[in-house]
């Protein structure tokens, strides 16, 4: 990270810079913009230039800005490291080669500085490269101090005149990030060459960029994934006739979703880029991707726009985006466009860090070949068609090279940098205004603050949520005394007519008290925007013209973390006595000495951390609530023996747990809470969805064996090694047959995923195989069946639940397909059905969960029967006959008979059986073997918490979490995804409870009579 040095010594330099720039600035203003071209006097590296020409497949796939390479006597070109020019066929550098080059540049030129910005999960370095004039680089710290005043207008007392003085002389920072998506391989070489051009070219167009601004470059964002991708490419080069393995792992944990982490900040790469962006007070974050021909600038996205971004920003998107298209169209480069299909709703993308921190978010999709081969590429009609926003579309069929891609990337960036520099006073002023509007938010659109109460039962999860906000550079305060605020009146849910009839008084505002020590997230701070976006609710109308949301539609963090968050409009909250909190520490501790300690269960995930930390202690769970020493303990509360106060204190420090000494074991029934032996299963089809589960368990300190479906297929006695098998969602290509069969293996060659001298980085700390193609196989299915029959617990979610049910691993539950339902990554309401189940320990009646269209579970008490929504009984009318609709019919000549009532049950209950169904029916599932619903989806009207719910009645009231006793074991099925993108801590304990109570899941179960 770039470090703060003494500010005082820099003030003088800064003044000198101000004078320098004022003079330079006036000179440039007179004649309009400099033409985008090389200077006739600019010396050119002819050999390198010839190769650029050679590797560019069409004369119109380049521009006057990049069709030559400026020559330098002492600065090495990318060829020094690559052995050829940037974008040359067959050449894909590892991250360390890219870094080596950037450091050669730094050594040779006073215009380049390289900074280390942190490490990845696997310990690889991430860097940022600053390119600017030597004066600017010398004044980096002083300039940053100036930019800091614009970034936090409170430091200049919101004084616009002072802001204008700073705007007039500060040097802006434009931050470019490359190859976050590892199969999108072109950015590193493009950025190596871009850095060289910016450092050595003396043409006025480039010099203006260099002198006028600081270009900051992170050439490789996903460093672990880059090295794996280069390995694969090398493998491909040495086996040119073979198929090569798909990139199953990118980073240690997730693949494509590494660009959906900007809300939860769970991954190192997000944290490192966020810190660099915020620390450097950058104005732009521009992220490079490759999936759309030839350059799609999705900066000016389609609607709906994220509700929390400043309209100043949405205008900037249009200005920069369309100008970019215009510049490149004039070069004659086809296929450059903006607008497109990307909606700008979710703030989860890496580049959105800038949008949520008062900057400008930008993103390019250029056209990559997933490696450095030159390939014929044929487009779909919707890619080459001309539309209003793509007047000069790409060509239907071309030969495309990595050099072409590098030409587009560099030309787009250079024109962007130049346009930004030309208008930097406007953009710097906007940067200030957006920050100022963030600070003045309470008096404008509001709210004034969010409050997280000190008496929340889940202080550990509350602390985790606050830590996410702190990673986002949000300031957190804590009240030093109790206080109260006025909350607005709740809107009446009754219709106007009802209200009039009942002569109700209109609902009145209420007062809410908060205890001392409550956390306050003030909205009069520069980064209020991100806090507001994460803590508020989202509503995506089913009538929105955008019918295909690009990503999740809802994410309300308080709901998904299971903690209380109150949105406070009342400005009085800002006057509450409070102090800033540097480090969030969840109150934890042991309040005395005894041989038995009790810890209340509030479904805090840290209870699992504690169980695995205290391996020698004996821990039991109370199956009923109890009281001790005037304190109430809920079901599932821990009773700990064989641990000293010191051991316990050490183990729970900072977990947000309170241990209370109790004089004797309570009289309620208890069962042991054991540290289950866990197998964590992945496929070789996709690892992303399970990656979010892995990182959650790793962060909680819950150990597991990480094995693939192939390992399961060879393990005939899984019970000898494991108590619980977690089979988290697969994601792509996850149909039941794909899980069993794997990838096609009747043809083609083995696809190895293992470290060799040729592929030293593939495995990392993950799994390996000689051939990725085989799946679970029928042996694997049998092994799983055996495991459950012999007492094991198998836990599945979403698509793996569908898999488990489709192969008959659990009976009495079927999966329906949604007809019209559309729940696109939304927060939905669920309701507790069976609070006595250990899976529900610590939970309340209502629980918010992440749902992405189901699956829809239905119950049956008869094996093999599929039951859908049982609307039949209600909709049936009486047969034709005498009397009114409610009357019984009669039969002439004999006394009437009553029609027996059919047994009725709710959708989340096992259907009651009729006598007819029970008669000699070997298919009837005995009560003890029937599905036990733990949580169900809320009623239709209560289903939507945040995001989009359309046609929700298809899933409303259906089971959301079900425990199916099977053989001696259990299959626990989730329709919701309880562990997702570091955003759903509130539902983690559904999984952890299953693990900790694996051999007592039937506790508290009440069975039907027949
Ligand atoms: Zn991408």
CA of 794 to the centre of ligand 1 (A): 34
CA of 259 to the centre of ligand 1 (A): 8
CA of 266 to the centre of ligand 1 (A): 19
Residue 606's pLDDT band, with cuts at 50, 70 and 90, is very high
CA of 289 to the centre of ligand 1 (A): 4
CA of 180 to the centre of ligand 1 (A): 7
CA of 351 to the centre of ligand 1 (A): 11
Residue 580's pLDDT band, with cuts at 50, 70 and 90, is very high
Q: Which of 128, 115, 468, 129 is nearest to 267 (CA)?
A: 468
Positive or negative: CA dihedral 336, 341, 342, 344:
positive
Helix, strand, coil tally for the chain in percent (to 5): 35, 20, 45
83-87, 338-342, 497-501, 817-821 — most confident range: 83-87
Is residue 293 within 8 A of residue 337, CB to CB? The reply is: no
CA of 142 to the centre of ligand 1 (A): 35
Is residue 799 within 8 A of residue 729, CB to CB? The reply is: yes
CA atoms within 13 A on the CB side of 1000: 23
CA of 185 to the centre of ligand 1 (A): 10
Average pLDDT of the segment spanning 573-593: 95
Q: What is residue 480's predicted lDDT score, i.e. its pLDDT?
A: 98
CA of 184 to the centre of ligand 1 (A): 6
Instruction: Say how far apart CA 515 and CA 455 lie, in whole Å.
Output: 7
Residue 501's pLDDT band, with cuts at 50, 70 and 90, is low
Instruction: Say how far apart CA 328 and CA 391 lie, in whole Å.
Output: 12
CA of 183 to the centre of ligand 1 (A): 8
User: Kind of pairing, strands 959-966 and 932-937?
Assistant: antiparallel
Decide if pLDDT at 366 tops 50: yes
SS3 category, 933: strand
Give the tens place of pLDDT for each residue, 384-419: 999 999 999 999 999 999 999 999 999 999 999 999
If you count them, how many residues does the chain have?
A: 1010
746 DSSP 8-state letter: S
Q: How far is CA 568 from CA 155, 455, 558, 563, 686, in A?
A: 25, 17, 14, 16, 43
CA of 363 to the centre of ligand 1 (A): 9
Instruction: Say how far apart CA 950 and CA 957 lie, in whole Å.
Output: 15
CA of 366 to the centre of ligand 1 (A): 9
CA of 741 to the centre of ligand 1 (A): 29
Neighbours of 252 (CB within 10 A): 20
CA of 250 to the centre of ligand 1 (A): 12
Is residue 841 within 8 A of residue 997, CB to CB? The reply is: yes
Give the tens place of pLDDT for each residue, 704-722: 999 999 999 999 999 999 9
> If 0-12 CB within 10 Å is exposed, 13-18 middle and 19+ buried, where does residue 535 land?
buried
CA of 300 to the centre of ligand 1 (A): 17
Give the tens place of pLDDT for each residue, 625-678: 999 989 999 999 999 999 999 999 999 988 999 999 999 999 999 999 999 999
Q: What is residue 30's predicted lDDT score, i.e. its pLDDT?
A: 41
Helical packing angle, 187-200 and 402-422, nearest 10°: 50
CA of 965 to the centre of ligand 1 (A): 43
CA of 220 to the centre of ligand 1 (A): 13
CA of 685 to the centre of ligand 1 (A): 19
CA atoms within 13 A on the CB side of 825: 17
CA of 371 to the centre of ligand 1 (A): 14
Residue 877's pLDDT band, with cuts at 50, 70 and 90, is low
CA of 291 to the centre of ligand 1 (A): 6
SS3 category, 682: strand
CA of 341 to the centre of ligand 1 (A): 14
Q: What is residue 496's predicted lDDT score, i.e. its pLDDT?
A: 55
Q: What is residue 789's predicted lDDT score, i.e. its pLDDT?
A: 98
Torsion angle of the four alpha carbons 658, 663, 664, 665, in this order, in degrees rounded to the nearest 10: -10
Give the pair of three-digit tokens for residue 598.
């009790």
Neighbours of 995 (CB within 10 A): 27
CA of 560 to the centre of ligand 1 (A): 27
Q: Which residue has the tokens 């951390």?
A: 609
Averaged pLDDT score across all residues of the chain? 94
Residue 494's pLDDT band, with cuts at 50, 70 and 90, is low
Decide if pLDDT at 15 tops 90: no
Give the pair of three-digit tokens for residue 11.
């003030």
Q: Per-residue b/e over 151-180, b at no fewer than 16 CB within 10 Å? A: bbbeebeeeeebbeebbebbbbbbbbbbbb
CA of 192 to the centre of ligand 1 (A): 19
Residue 16's pLDDT band, with cuts at 50, 70 and 90, is very low
CA of 190 to the centre of ligand 1 (A): 16
CA of 290 to the centre of ligand 1 (A): 6
Instruction: Say how far apart CA 795 and CA 964 lie, in whole Å.
Output: 10
Average pLDDT of the segment spanning 445-460: 97
Q: Which of 360, 366, 349 is nearest to 412 (CA)?
A: 366
CA of 179 to the centre of ligand 1 (A): 8
- pTM, two decimals, is 0.94
Decide if pLDDT at 25 tops 50: no
> If 0-12 CB within 10 Å is exposed, 13-18 middle and 19+ buried, where does residue 55 land?
buried
CA of 618 to the centre of ligand 1 (A): 49
Instruction: Say how far apart CA 699 and CA 609 lie, in whole Å.
Output: 9
CA of 795 to the centre of ligand 1 (A): 32
CA of 239 to the centre of ligand 1 (A): 26
Instruction: Say how far apart CA 625 and CA 835 lie, in whole Å.
Output: 11
Q: Which residue has the tokens 């203003």?
A: 29
β-bridge partners, 946: 827
Q: What is residue 557's predicted lDDT score, i.e. its pLDDT?
A: 98
Average pLDDT of the segment spanning 420-432: 98
Average pLDDT of the segment spanning 140-146: 98
β-bridge partners, 362: 286
Average pLDDT of the segment spanning 760-781: 95
Instruction: Say how far apart CA 786 and CA 942 lie, in whole Å.
Output: 40
């Amino acid at each position: 990270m770039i470090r703060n040095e003494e500010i005082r010594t820099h003030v003088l330099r800064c003044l000198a810079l101000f004078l320098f720039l004022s003079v330079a600035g006036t000179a440039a203003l007179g004649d309009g913009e400099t033409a985008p071209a090389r200077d006739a006097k600019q010396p050119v590296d002819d050999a390198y230039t010839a190769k650029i020409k050679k590797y560019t497949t069409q004369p119109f796939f380049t521009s006057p800005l990049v069709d030559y390479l400026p020559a330098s006597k002492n600065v090495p070109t990318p060829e020094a490291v690559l052995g050829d020019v940037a974008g040359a066929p067959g050449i894909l550098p590892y991250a360390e080669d890219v870094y080596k080059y950037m450091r050669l540049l730094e050594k040779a030129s006073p215009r380049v500085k390289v900074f280390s910005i942190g490490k990845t999960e696997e310990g690889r370095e991430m860097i940022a490269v600053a390119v600017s004039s030597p004066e600017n680089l010398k004044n980096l710290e002083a300039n940053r101090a100036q930019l800091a005043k614009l970034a936090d207008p409170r430091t200049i007392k919101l004084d616009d005149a002072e802001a204008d003085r700073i705007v007039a002389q500060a040097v802006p920072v434009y931050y470019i990030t490359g190859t976050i998506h590892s199969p999108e391989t072109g950015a590193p070489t493009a950025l190596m060459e871009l850095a060289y051009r910016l450092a050595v070219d003396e043409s006025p167009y480039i010099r203006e960029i260099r002198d006028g601004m600081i270009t900051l470059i992170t050439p490789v964002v996903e460093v672990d994934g880059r090295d794996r991708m280069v390995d694969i490419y090398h493998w491909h080069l040495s086996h040119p006739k073979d198929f090569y393995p798909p990139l199953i792992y990118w980073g240690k944990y997730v693949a494509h979703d590494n660009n959906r982490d900007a809300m939860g900040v769970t991954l190192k790469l997000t944290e490192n880029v966020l810190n660099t962006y915020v620390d450097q007070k950058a104005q732009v974050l521009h992220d490079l991707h490759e999936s759309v021909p030839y350059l799609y600038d999705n900066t000016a996205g389609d609607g709906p726009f994220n509700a929390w971004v400043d309209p100043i920003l949405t205008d900037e998107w249009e200005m920069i985006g369309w100008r970019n298209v215009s510049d490149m169209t004039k070069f004659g480069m086809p296929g450059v466009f903006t607008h497109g299909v990307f909606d700008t709703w979710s703030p989860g993308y890496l580049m959105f860090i800038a949008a949520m921190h008062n900057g400008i978010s930008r993103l390019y999709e250029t056209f990559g070949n997933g490696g450095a081969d030159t390939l014929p590429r044929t487009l779909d009609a919707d890619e080459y068609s001309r539309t209003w926003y793509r007047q000069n579309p790409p060509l239907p069929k071309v030969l495309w090279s990595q050099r072409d891609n590098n030409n587009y990337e560099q030309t787009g960036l250079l024109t962007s940098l130049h346009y930004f520099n030309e208008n930097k006073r406007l953009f710097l002023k906007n940067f200030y205004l957006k920050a100022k509007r963030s600070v003045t938010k309470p008096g404008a659109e509001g709210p004034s603050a969010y409050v997280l109460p000190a008496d929340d039962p889940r202080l550990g999860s509350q602390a985790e949520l606050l830590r996410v906000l702190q990673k986002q550079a949000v300031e957190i305060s804590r009240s030093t005394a109790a206080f109260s605020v006025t909350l607005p009146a709740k809107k009446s849910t009754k219709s106007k007519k009802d209200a009039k009839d009942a002569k109700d008084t209109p609902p009145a505002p209420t007062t809410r008290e908060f205890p001392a020590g409550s956390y306050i997230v003030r909205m009069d701070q520069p980064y209020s925007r991100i806090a507001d976006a994460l803590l508020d609710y989202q509503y995506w109308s089913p009538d929105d013209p955008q019918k295909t949301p690009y990503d999740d539609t809802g994410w309300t963090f308080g709901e998904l973390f299971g903690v209380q968050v109150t949105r406070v409009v009342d400005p009085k909250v800002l006057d509450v006595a409070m102090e800033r909190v540097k480090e969030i520490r969840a109150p934890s501790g042991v309040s005395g000495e005894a041989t038995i300690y009790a810890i209340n269960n509030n479904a805090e995930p840290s209870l699992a951390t504690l169980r695995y930390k205290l391996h020698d202690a004996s821990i039991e769970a109370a199956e009923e609530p109890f009281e001790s020493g005037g304190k109430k303990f809920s079901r599932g509360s821990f009773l700990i023996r064989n641990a000293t106060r010191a051991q316990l204190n050490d183990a729970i420090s900072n977990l947000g747990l309170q241990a209370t000494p109790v004089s004797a074991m309570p009289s309620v029934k208890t069962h042991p809470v054991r540290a289950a032996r866990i197998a964590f299963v992945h496929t070789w089809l996709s690892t992303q969805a399970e990656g979010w589960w892995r990182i959650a368990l790793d962060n909680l300190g819950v150990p597991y064996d990480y094995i693939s479906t192939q390992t399961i297929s060879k393990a005939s006695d899984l019970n000898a090694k494991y108590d619980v098998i977690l089979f988290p969602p697969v994601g792509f290509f996850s149909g039941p047959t794909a899980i069993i069969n794997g990838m096609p293996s009747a043809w083609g060659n083995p696809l190895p995923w293992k470290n060799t001298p040729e592929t030293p980085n593939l495995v990392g700390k993950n799994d390996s195989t000689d051939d990725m193609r085989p799946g679970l196989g029928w042996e694997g299915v049998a092994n799983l069946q055996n495991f459950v029959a012999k007492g094991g617990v198998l836990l599945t979610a979403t698509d793996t639940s569908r898999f488990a049910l489709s192969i008959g691993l659990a009976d009495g539950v079927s999966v329906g397909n949604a007809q019209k339902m559309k729940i696109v990554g939304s927060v939905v309401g669920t309701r507790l059905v069976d609070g006595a189940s250990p899976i529900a320990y610590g939970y309340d009646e209502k629980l918010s969960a992440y749902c992405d269209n189901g699956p829809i579970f239905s119950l049956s008490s008869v094996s093999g029967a599929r039951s859908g929504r049982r609307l039949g009984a209600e909709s049936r009318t009486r047969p034709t006959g005498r009397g009114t609709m409610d009357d019984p019919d009669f039969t002439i000549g004999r006394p009437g008979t009553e029609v027996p009532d059919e047994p009725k049950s709710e959708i989340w209950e096992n259907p009651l059986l009729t006598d007819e169904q029970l008669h000699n029916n070997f298919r009837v599932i005995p009560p003890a073997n029937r599905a036990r619903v733990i949580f169900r989806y809320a009623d239709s009207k209560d289903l939507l918490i945040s995001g989009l719910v359309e046609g929700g009645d298809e899933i409303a009231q259906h089971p959301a979490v079900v425990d199916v006793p099977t053989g001696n074991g259990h299959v626990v099925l989730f329709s919701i995804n309880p562990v997702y993108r570091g955003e759903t801590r509130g539902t983690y304990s559904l999984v952890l409870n299953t693990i900790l109570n694996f051999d007592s899941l039937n506790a508290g179960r009440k069975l039907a009579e027949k």
